[in-house]
Amino acid sequence: MLIVKVLDQNGSGQYEWIINGIYYAIEQNVDIISMSLGGPEDVPELHEAIQKAVEQHILVVCAAGNEGDGQDITNELGYPGSYNEVISVGAINLNRRISDFSNSNNEVDLVAPGENILSTYPNGKYASLSGTSMATPHVSGALALIKAISNQAFERKLTEPEIYAQLIKRTVPLGHSPKLEGNGMVYLTAVDYLAQVFNTDGRTAVLKV
């Protein structure tokens, strides 16, 4: 893992810092960039940096944002999460309901757990936090596993669109609007689950995810 610090100790910063961090990650030949951050401004230089990363076959995973109102009739846009080139991650709670704060828009790709997530915290502590920033690392970690497994299975290095397709194969719809959940919840064993549901002997099993 390559940790690139682009915000200060209070979680604030400038777009220039984020942009520089992206270019540094590109120079280091990373496979995945995970960004649990965002802001309200559509900055052309930031978008260009994202596009450069994708051109280098880097998967860019971003938090969708926390300005949502729980409804799909409104659009809340945060950047870089709303750029089409990134994998935009919304949040759900442990009951698999969309988090009220999770942004709603047509660029949301999928959702992951983002409420009361226990993780490390500054000064050697642990804390339970909520936000699409908490959901994003679930997807980044899932992508790392999918990429390793898929490259071995196909006996070649898959392209960024192919890895994205493998990720979407491993999602489960939750019944919410696509603007809220995208393709559904990341679920790494979804392929095996569907194989059980649609088995080959003509019977259909009813399983709960």
Domain residues of the chain, as ranges?
15-197
The sign of the torsion formed by the CA atoms of 95, 79, 1, 49 equals positive
pLDDT on residue 155: 84
pLDDT on residue 208: 47
Beta-carbon count within 10 A of 34 CB? 24
Does 15-197 carry CATH code 3.40.50.200? yes
Query: Strand pairing of 185-186 and 171-172?
Result: antiparallel
Measured CA to CA, the distance from residue 105 to residue 88 in angstroms comes to: 10
Describe the crossing of helices 132-154 and 160-169 by its angle, rounded to 10 degrees.
110
* Chain segment 34-93, per-residue pLDDT in tens: 999 999 999 999 999 999 999 999 999 999 999 999 899 999 999 999 999 999 999 999
Residue that is written with structure tokens 């088995």 in the block = 199
| pLDDT, the chain, mean | 91
The pair of three-digit structure tokens given for residue 23, joined into one six-digit string: 């270019």
